[in-house]
Structures are given as C-alpha cells and as structure tokens.
Amino acid sequence: MSSLRFKALESIAQSKETPLVGTTKITALFGENVFTLQKARAFLSDEGYKSLVASIKGGKKIDRQVANQIAAGIRQWAESKGVTHFTHWFQPLTGTSAEKHDSFFTLKGDGTAIEEFDGAALIQQEPDASSFPSGGIRATFEARGYTAWDPSSPAFILEVSQGKTLCIPTIFVSYTGETLDYKAPLLKSLEALNKSAVEVANYFDKNVNRVSATLGWEQEYFVIDEGMFNARPDLVLSGRTVFGHAPAKGQQLEDHYFGSIPERVYAYMRDFENECYKLGIPLRTRHNEVAPAQFECAPIFEEVSVAVDHNTLLMDIMDRVARRHKLRVLLHEKPFAGINGSGKHNNWSMSTDTGVNLLAPGKTPKTNLMFLTFFVNTIKAVYDYSDVLRASIASAGNDHRLGANEAPPAIISVFVGQYLFNVLNEIKERVGDKFDEQDEAILKLDLHRSIPELLLDNTDRNRTSPFAFTGNKFEFRAVGSTANCANPMIVLNTILADTLKKFKKDVDALIEKGEKKEIAIMHVIREYIVASDKVLFEGDGYSEAWEKEAEKRGLPNVKATPLALDALVTEKAKHLFEKNDVLTHIELEARHEIELEKYIKRVQIEARIMGELCTSHILPAAVKYQNVLINNIKGMKDLGLEDQTSNQKQILVKISEHINKLSDLVEKMIEARKVCNAMDNTRTKAIAYESQVKGPYFDAIRYSVDKLELLVDDSYWPLPKYREMLFIR
C-alpha cells in the first residue's frame, strides 16, 4: 500500500494541467435538462398541460388517459435530447438517491420493436425493493414496495458518461401504504404547515390562500486528490480518516478561508456547477471554507420540496463530476480529526402566495405583528420539540461534529440577536392586561429597518448557534453535510404546523371572550415567550459554561445518536406526527429502527477498517522500521559503539510500546464487537456499539497509530498523511 501513497504523490506532481471547462452563460444552460412547465406547454396537448398544472398547483389527481398523453410528451422531449432509458428516481432512507433504469424499447405482441413510455410506467413502478431499508415494515406486512410519480417535482435528464436517463421523481411506499422514503412525509409536512399557517396568516391578511416553506441549503465539502483517496481504505469505505496525525500546519492561519480557490478545484467547481445549472439547480455562491481543502456552495433558495430534490441531486453530481477531474469529494461530517467538520446549513422560512416572507420583519405595525407571530411560534415550536429536532439530525457522522469544539453543540438553542431578544423581553415584561394601552409601542418598533442592520453585526459574530435567526429566515446549522435535508425539514414543518394550530385555538378562545383580535394575539405571543424563552441563547455555544447553563435550564443535551433517536418514538412524538398526518406511529418506529441500524453499520464498518488497517498496514510498517533500528543498534554494538545507541533504543522502545498497545486494543475491540453483534435488540446494540466499541477503543487506537506515524520512517508509512491530502493538489 505504501506504493499507492507514493504513486499518488508522484502523479500529482506530474500532471499539472487543469481540464478546461467551457464558459457558457448560465442562463443558456439553466434548466436545459428539466421538463419545465414551459417545455410541457410545447410538448403536451392542452388537456395534458392543464391537468399537469392542476396537479402541481392544487394536488389534483391525473387520470390514466391523460397520464398516457403526458408520458408520451415527456418521452418525445427526452428523445429529442438523445435519451433512451428512463427511471423512477427516489430518495430511500439510505440517504442517497436510487434509480432503476428501464429502456423505452419494447417488443409488441407481434414482435415489432418500438419505443414506448406510457402512463402506467410514468405513474408507478415496482423496483425490487427488498434491499432498501424498511425498518421491518415490509417484513411484517408485505414484501413489496412501489414508487409513485410526484408530479410536483419536474422530470429531468441525468447525463452521465455512459448516456442520458430520463428521471421521474417519485415517492417510495410499501405495498401496505407505509412511506419508505424522505419525500412522502416531507410533502405531507408541507401540507400540514400550509394548512395551519394559512389560518394564522388570515388573521392579518384574508387574501393568503397558500403558505409554502422555503429552503436555501449551504453545502460544505472537502475535495482531495483521487490517488490519495484510493490509498486510504478508511476514506474509501467509511468516508472519513480513522487515523492521521495532525499536520504541522492545520487551519490555525485561517489562510484558506480568504485564499483564492486552487485552479484544479476551481475547474471542478465550474464543471459541477454547469451540470447543476442544466438540472435547474440555482447555485449562486462558491467559496473556500476555514479548513484546508474545504469548500462550500449554496443556491438561491427554493420551495422546500424542490430544494430537497436539488440538494440530493447536487451530492450525486458532485461525486460523479469529481471523478472526471481525478478528484474525490468528501461529504462526510468529519473526514479529518482536528480540522473543521462539514455541515449543511438549512436556511428556512415561509412565504405566502401573496408574496410575503412570513419571517421578514414588517414595515407597518400590522405586518410587525404578523412577523412576531410566526417568529415566536417558531421559537416555541423549537423549544417544545427540541428533542425531535435533535433526533432529525442525528447520525454517526454528525456525532463527530455536534458537541465537538468547532461545531454547534448537541443542545438545541435559538439565537435571535440582541435587538429581537430585547423586543421579546419587553413583551414578556408586560403584565397581561396592559396591552391595551401600550401595544402600539411594540408594534411600532421599527423592526423592518433595525433588524437587518443589527443582525448583520450579531450573527456574523455568532456562528456557534445551532438554530439562528438571520434577518428574514432561521438557519438550522446543526444539520450534517451528508444528511438528506428532508429529515430536519419534515420536523421543522410539522412542529410549527402543530404550534400554529394551538396558537390559533388560543387566540380564538380569547377573541370569543370578547378580546380585540390584535390584543388577543399579543396576549398569546406573550404567553408563548414566557413558556419558551429558556431556549433563547445569545452567547458562545461552544463554551463549557453554556453546557452547564443549558443543564440548569433543563435543555436536553444528548450527544450520541443512539439515545438522541429515542425522541422519535416517544408518545409525544407519535402524537405530534400522527395528529398532523405526517407519519404514523408504525412509520416512526420503522424510521427509528432504520436510523439505529444505519448507526450500527457505520460504527461497525469503521471498527472493522480500523482493525484491518492496524493489523495489515500500520503494524507491519512499524515492525519493519523496528527491524531497521534493531539492525542498526546491533551494527553499532559490533563496531563497539554501543554507548552511542541510546536514541535509537529510545525510539525502539516507544515503537514497541505502541505496537503492543495497538495489537492489544485491536484484539479487545474485536471481542467487544462480537459481544455487540450477538445482541438482538437494535437499540441496545446501537447503544453498545457507541459505549462499548467506539467509546473505549476508537480514540485509544488512534492515539497509538498517530504516534507511530511520527516515529516510523516516512518512506515506510502506507497511508497518505494529512498534510499530503489537505495541502497538495
């Protein structure tokens, strides 16, 4: 393996040319491979077009006859672009996207070969679903699952080196109707939010008929050379380096953040951006991150369901295009210890069909009150369901980030900025019945003008909050970089839907008692602030003081995934998701099980790769170098220079100590794994993997390996080192 390391280094040194990427105007590419409504207009009959629009805008069902027409139109468009195959594209709970390709080609009864794509193939497919995670649902109920067309998300063409495929976005359900993907409950949560948000928005504006949630994600990632990647079995199999001594230079100079983007990476970015533009993904920003070799991209925000599809597609495309450039993209939350991890900030808000952002401070007292309503309801929702929110971002990868000292903590708190913090406090301080005389004072606050200015200052300094208000949206920063955004979005939408429902009830009750509407709203807002302001935190979220303070406030701080996931299956959570028609308790239990299984598998794979790397890579290299030292000492002794060998002996002893410690720890870790593997209960097993395998062994093993890396002759060391992966391009 050491030869792989050196080959990689050599080949980087030799190939310095950067692949050229054409300079096309973005607008010329944008949406080229998407079956937009505009294209639908050109390729569909009037009937087909109208039916498609009605389905997208109002969720109207499309009948078979019309579906045939639509399918024919989509095929015609796709064929005009050289497409031969189609697939239902969906987002199973594995966390990636899934495809099963079929060709348009078919043989008719009389043997004629034709190209065909009918309504039935558009609407429904039965992929062999047995190997997608179902959390026991299919085992218990029915062995089959099917994918069903989601007309609200446009069809698109995926271009890969081997050809072009028409992708039909679908949801994935078991034969008994339980959802097995991220998309279906996401759509349901959006509907739940729409319903309750419209009702509350109608207090302020009767013209609001629809509220959609919006999402703008920011995706962080690392890019390294493919040769180095291939020489690191841990990266290949687990996405992160399980070993590696910190480089002499890490991120302390912060020179990467402000530096120019390296040429090779720049070419890669341009290339994947172009692919994204063709698919209608509105990428807008790209820049270096703080850590060396770390970057970020972000689009213009979109409606949540589209934004989720686009982020899933983006991750797929980033990976494919990186290979074209002999690079690899690392989407893992923590590919390198001691170096910043990667997150996926989820900027989230709501907008009405009248064009108003419900989380943007208003210009008039009335719109101020509307802003405060949605703002305070969100805070209350986050406080009431912070455990579910925490569960929505729990994963083995994100455990390395949350609570580590350069990422938001596992404690869910809300940052609102000093100005709004004071506004909330002021409202809180008022004793209930005083609103009559004084409400004007609050409602006339110049939120619209004051907040953006004050926030700019505040939020840029406070990057430590997991959930921050940033002027006209909340930014959920604790989401992991590999995550499917749907998970946190499902929870956010649902908890706010639920809270708004309750808010409406509370306000209506006061109105019924004869209270003026605005005053009733202020009363309930005040009540909600009082009930939830423990979740507000403006200080340094990375500090130990905050952990202590949060504990005093009774805020949950669950650091490890297996326990964090418990929040998905509490009575409270089941009630929440069932009442809002987002997930049944069976689906929740299944999801809980799936997440636990994913956790177990991840830790298991990492443990295995650690063991293998130690026994067949690290220890042999260390022993080889040990022998060199032994021979040297013997030779010196033969020459009568034994008194000159104390340094060699010292190194030899250190190496021997680490060798012994390592082989001992690896043996014990294997034993611990065996104990865990024998456990039947998934939850118990996941907890055991965390506390019996990962906890006691991962860091301890790593410690000795990383020490050996510094002791053993560089030319014997098999794995590319941090400085090579992070700094050589």
Least Å distance, CB 462 to ligand ADP, is 12
Least Å distance, CB 568 to ligand ADP, is 25
Cβ-based nearer residue to ligand ADP, 125 or 481? 481
Cβ-based nearer residue to ligand ADP, 375 or 697? 375
Cβ-based nearer residue to ligand ADP, 247 or 299? 299
Least Å distance, CB 349 to ligand ADP, is 4
Least Å distance, CB 254 to ligand ADP, is 17
Which tokens go with 284?
């807008």
* Residue 178: strand, helix, or coil: coil
Cβ-based nearer residue to ligand ADP, 472 or 645? 472
Q: How many residues bind ligand ADP (CB under 6 A)?
A: 15
The DSSP call for residue 616 is I
Which tokens go with 407?
């990422």
Which tokens go with 302?
């979109």
**Residue 322 near residue 459, CB atoms below 8 Å:** no
Cα separation values, 520 from 393, 478, 713, Å: 36, 35, 75
Cβ-based nearer residue to ligand ADP, 216 or 361? 216
Q: Quick one: which of 91, 311, 470, 481 contacts ligand ADP (CB under 6 A)?
A: 470
Extended strands (E) in 108-186: 113-115, 124-125, 145-149, 156-160, 163-174
Q: Residue 301 interacts with ligand ADP (CB under 6 A)?
A: yes
**Residue 90 near residue 98, CB atoms below 8 Å:** yes
Q: Residue 215 interacts with ligand ADP (CB under 6 A)?
A: yes
Q: Interacting stretch for ligand ADP, rule CB under 6 A, among 116-124, 209-217, 594-602, 646-654?
A: 209-217
**Residues making up the chain, counted from first to last:** 729
Cβ-based nearer residue to ligand ADP, 385 or 469? 469
Q: Residue 469 interacts with ligand ADP (CB under 6 A)?
A: no
Least Å distance, CB 281 to ligand ADP, is 12
Cβ-based nearer residue to ligand ADP, 349 or 499? 349
Q: Residue 145 interacts with ligand ADP (CB under 6 A)?
A: no
Which tokens go with 147?
């994918």
Cα separation values, 721 from 158, 330, 609, 725, Å: 36, 16, 17, 6
Cβ-based nearer residue to ligand ADP, 35 or 295? 295
CA distance 375 to 383: 13
Which tokens go with 123?
């609407």
- Cα torsion 175, 178, 182, 183 to 10°: value is 70
Cβ-based nearer residue to ligand ADP, 170 or 481? 481
Q: Residue 390 interacts with ligand ADP (CB under 6 A)?
A: no
- 221, with CB counted inside 10 A (0-12, 13-18, 19+), is buried
Least Å distance, CB 258 to ligand ADP, is 15
Q: Interacting stretch for ligand ADP, rule CB under 6 A, among 46-54, 68-76, 292-300, 535-543?
A: 292-300
Beta bridge partners of 298: 285
What angle, 0 to 180 degrees and rounded to 10, lies between the N-to-C axes of helices 619-638 and 699-711?
40
**Residue 359 near residue 365, CB atoms below 8 Å:** no
Cβ-based nearer residue to ligand ADP, 84 or 472? 472
Cβ-based nearer residue to ligand ADP, 81 or 363? 363
Q: Interacting stretch for ligand ADP, rule CB under 6 A, among 19-27, 341-349, 425-433, 664-672?
A: 341-349
Cβ neighbors of 522 (< 8 A, separation 6 or more) are 369, 427, 435, 439, 442
Cα-to-chain-centroid distance, residue 520: 39
Cβ-based nearer residue to ligand ADP, 306 or 564? 306
Q: Residue 218 interacts with ligand ADP (CB under 6 A)?
A: yes
Q: Residue 298 interacts with ligand ADP (CB under 6 A)?
A: yes
* Alpha helix segments (H runs only) across 59-161: 64-80, 119-123, 137-140
Question: Nearest Cα to 555, choosing from 421, 416, 412, 390?
Answer: 412
Least Å distance, CB 311 to ligand ADP, is 11
Q: Which residue is nearest to ligand ADP (CB)?
A: 216
Cβ-based nearer residue to ligand ADP, 134 or 378? 378
Cβ neighbors of 600 (< 8 A, separation 6 or more) are 676, 682, 685, 686, 689
Contact characters 72-111, ligand ADP, x per CB under 6 A: ----------------------------------------
Cβ-based nearer residue to ligand ADP, 221 or 301? 301
Q: Quick one: which of 473, 526, 602, 721 contacts ligand ADP (CB under 6 A)?
A: 473
Residue 341 sits at the vertex; the CA angle it makes with 336 and 342, to the nearest 5 degrees, is 125
Q: Residue 296 interacts with ligand ADP (CB under 6 A)?
A: no
Q: Residue 216 interacts with ligand ADP (CB under 6 A)?
A: yes
Q: Residue 641 interacts with ligand ADP (CB under 6 A)?
A: no
Cβ-based nearer residue to ligand ADP, 356 or 662? 356
Q: Interacting stretch for ligand ADP, rule CB under 6 A, among 200-208, 467-475, 537-545, 635-643?
A: 467-475
Written as one letter, the residue type at 566 is: D
3-class SS letters over 574-613: HHHHHHCCCCCHHHHHHHHHHHHHHHHHHHHHHHHHHHHH
Least Å distance, CB 207 to ligand ADP, is 20
Q: Quick one: which of 214, 305, 373, 561 contacts ligand ADP (CB under 6 A)?
A: 214
Least Å distance, CB 230 to ligand ADP, is 33
Q: Interacting stretch for ligand ADP, rule CB under 6 A, among 104-112, 468-476, 625-633, 638-646?
A: 468-476
Cβ-based nearer residue to ligand ADP, 238 or 349? 349
Least Å distance, CB 471 to ligand ADP, is 7
Written as one letter, the residue type at 561 is: T
Q: Interacting stretch for ligand ADP, rule CB under 6 A, among 19-27, 211-219, 328-336, 388-396?
A: 211-219
CA distance 486 to 392: 9
Least Å distance, CB 168 to ligand ADP, is 27
From first CA to last CA, the distance across the chain in angstroms is: 20
Q: Quick one: which of 36, 152, 450, 472 contacts ligand ADP (CB under 6 A)?
A: 472
Which tokens go with 349?
């808000």
Q: According to CB under 6 A, which residues from 343 to 372 bind ligand ADP?
A: 347-349, 357
Least Å distance, CB 245 to ligand ADP, is 33
Least Å distance, CB 550 to ligand ADP, is 25
Write the DSSP assignment of 43-62 as a string of letters. Answer: HS-HHHHHHHHHHHHH-PPP
**Residue 77 near residue 52, CB atoms below 8 Å:** no
* Residue 112: strand, helix, or coil: coil
**Residue 237 near residue 609, CB atoms below 8 Å:** yes
Cα-to-chain-centroid distance, residue 137: 25
CA distance 304 to 188: 12
Cβ-based nearer residue to ligand ADP, 492 or 666? 492
* Residue 179: strand, helix, or coil: strand
List contacts with ligand ADP (CB under 6 A): 214-216, 218, 298-301, 347-349, 357, 470, 472-473
